[in-house]
Structures are given as C-alpha cells and as structure tokens.
Amino acid sequence: MKSSKIVLSILLPVLVYAYTGQAQNKYTGTKLCATCHKSGKGGTAFVVWEKSGHAKAFEALKSDAAKKIAKEKGLSKPPHESPECLKCHVTGGGSAKNVEATFKMEDGVGCEACHGAASAYKMLHSKGDVAKSKEAGLMEGDKTGKECMVCHNEGSPTFKGFDFKVMWAKIEHTLPPKK
C-alpha cells in the first residue's frame, strides 16, 4: 500500500506535467511554417494559405463592411478589436496568451488554427518526425469539416452556407509524395 502511494506521488505529477505541457503549447505564427512549407520537400501549404481568405481574415475586420456589421451588432469596439469577431478571424481567437513573439494576429487564421499551437512540435516536425510531432501536439487537420463549422456557421453575420468539399478544394494542401 505504501509503495503504491509512493509510485502514485511520483507518477501523478509526471502525468499532469505531460498533459498540461502539451495543452500549453504556444502559437508561433505562420512565418515559421513558411520556412519549410513554401516550396520543396515541405510542400506548398503556405503558398495556398497565403492566397486564401484565411490569410486575410484579420484584415477583413478593418473593412467598411465589417465596421458596418459591428455597428449593427452594437459592438463596443471596432471589429478588429472585438472578441466577438476575433474568435474566428484570428488563430487562437485573438485573446490567446500562449503566444511566442513571432505570432502576429495580423496573420488571420493561420496554420496553427487547424494543426495546433506549434511551439512543442516545431523542431520535431521540421526534422520529419511525424509520430513525435503528433505526441507534442501536431494535429493533421479536420477532413470532415466539423472543426470548420465552429466559425463557418449561422452565428457569423456573413454566413451563406458551408459546403466542406467546395471549401476544402479552395485550401487543400497536401504534402508532396515521399520518395
């Protein structure tokens, strides 16, 4: 009985650290992803993102149309400062405290919105260790559209329906085949 308490007193903090360590990954921003995913063996996911509406999501909040919507909704701040807007227009919801200096809200909805905050897996991932990267928090991304619907839904004032297959075709980015 005493030995099980000792084991538990050692094991429990380790498990808590392992769990919270992954949960506390920090957002690093898209610039880091661009290093490898602009061309070459890392594929062109960054180029696809850069041309997408996700990359322009934060800037869209500075438009006259967004300002008009914010006024109609009675928001107390401009849309690019309003939590109600930032929750979907910025990776981490615009209020994440777990960010590195390289993270910029201006990047809009970046890679980490689908693939998870990268601080713990960025180096593992850059070395090609997919299994360890996943253990450290890398997510493959939702291929069902369920995660997309967190923002692309009737709660959005500009929602016009969401067809995952059509939308995915606009942002699809696969890695090049392994040789």
* φ/ψ bin of 98: left (φ > 0), alpha (ψ from -120 to 50), beta (otherwise): beta
CATH of the domain at 118: 1.10.1130.10
Could you tell me the pTM of the whole model? 0.82
As for how many domains the chain has, the answer is 1
Q: Judge whether 161 lies within some domain.
A: no
| pLDDT of the chain, 179 residues: tens digit per residue | 554 443 333 433 333 334 444 458 999 999 999 988 988 778 889 999 999 999 999 999 999 999 999 999 999 999 999 999 999 999 999 888 899 999 999 999 999 999 999 999 999 988 888 899 999 999 988 889 999 999 999 999 999 999 999 999 999 987 766 65
Q: What sign has the CA pseudo-torsion 11, 24, 173, 38? A: negative
Q: Judge whether 120 lies within some domain.
A: yes
Q: Judge whether 156 lies within some domain.
A: no
Q: Judge whether 112 lies within some domain.
A: yes
Q: Judge whether 118 lies within some domain.
A: yes
Q: Judge whether 7 lies within some domain.
A: no
Q: Which domain holds residue 60?
A: 26-139
Q: Judge whether 121 lies within some domain.
A: yes
Q: Judge whether 34 lies within some domain.
A: yes
Q: How far apart are CA 27 and CA 36, in angstroms?
A: 17
Q: Is 36 helix (H, G, I), strand (E, B) or coil?
A: helix
